[in-house]
Amino acid sequence: MGTEMLNPRIHYDGMVFYGDNGINVSALFGIDPEQYLTMHQRLADIGLRVRLPDPAGQVDFVLYCHNLINAGADVTNIIREYNVGQRGDGTDFVHALSLTKLFYHYYMAGRDVSVCRTLGDLSSPDLIIDGLPCELKVRIDQTQKRMEPYRHLLFDGKQDEYMDILFNQIRSRKHDLETALLRARDGFEQGDCVFLDISSHFHSWNYHRIRSLLKKEGIHGVSESPLAPISGSCILFSPDNAWDRNNVGFNPRAYWGYLPLVLPPARRVVPESP
């Protein structure tokens, strides 16, 4: 990835471009492109540097930070973490954007929350919520990547065969979740509470997925409000990461649930359902 800084460019049909890629901020968020440029510049003035030509992520970040600033939040550390996250292979970028969303929901809920800066190789939590160190783990959905070798079936008129493979891949998400939960336990080395973001879907899809986990006793409770972080616990964080043209505007939402983990007896906490 290059180190050249990118500035957003606008078209008067509602599009905003970073590099050669763009999205329609008017259609999705009801925002005039010139208005978006003002938001972006506001963040650039306090340190935002754009390297990654990902208009979806960049616009999301600007909107979250713009609304946080309007609510009185200090987004300095968020911007620093976001800038650092754009230098890798994309994994850190996804983590930084998820961290921004996590901070947003807790701040807007009136909780005492702050983002910790990454300082070289020093180990530190991602954020502090109500005085408790917390670590964020992001599980990126692998379904689309796994389906790449089968795209030709759609062009060959073999939609049924493609859908059969797709459904099998969707079922494999259960294995993905189990693996993610095991890896989430590593977060206890850095934070007393682990947040696990496993979403990259529409709000309704996230809801049904979490409800399914609840029925299988895979989580404790489902909430549309941020849950209290508890030492020794893991919280599923499922933000709405897809845009709905039938719901124009900046409408951040998320689901939450406590995830049970097998921990040493001295640290094990099984919270009550909210």
DSSP state of 23: E
pTM: 0.79
Three-state DSSP state, 206: helix
Contact 220, 272 (CB under 8 A): yes
d(CA 43, CA 25): 17
DSSP assignment of 108-138, as one string? HTT--EEEPPP-TT----SEEETTEEEEEEE
pLDDT digits (tens, 9 = 90+) for 23-76: 999 999 999 999 999 999 999 999 999 999 989 899 999 999 999 999 999 999
d(CA 49, CA 128): 25
Q: What is the residue whose two structure tokens read 């599009």?
A: 15
Q: Which residue type does 21 have?
A: N
pLDDT digits (tens, 9 = 90+) for 254-274: 888 887 654 433 343 444 444
d(CA 233, CA 241): 24
Three-state DSSP state, 9: strand
Contact 259, 209 (CB under 8 A): no
More confident residue, 87 or 131: 131
d(CA 97, CA 237): 13
Contact 236, 257 (CB under 8 A): yes
More confident residue, 187 or 211: 211
For 144, the token pair is 């689309």
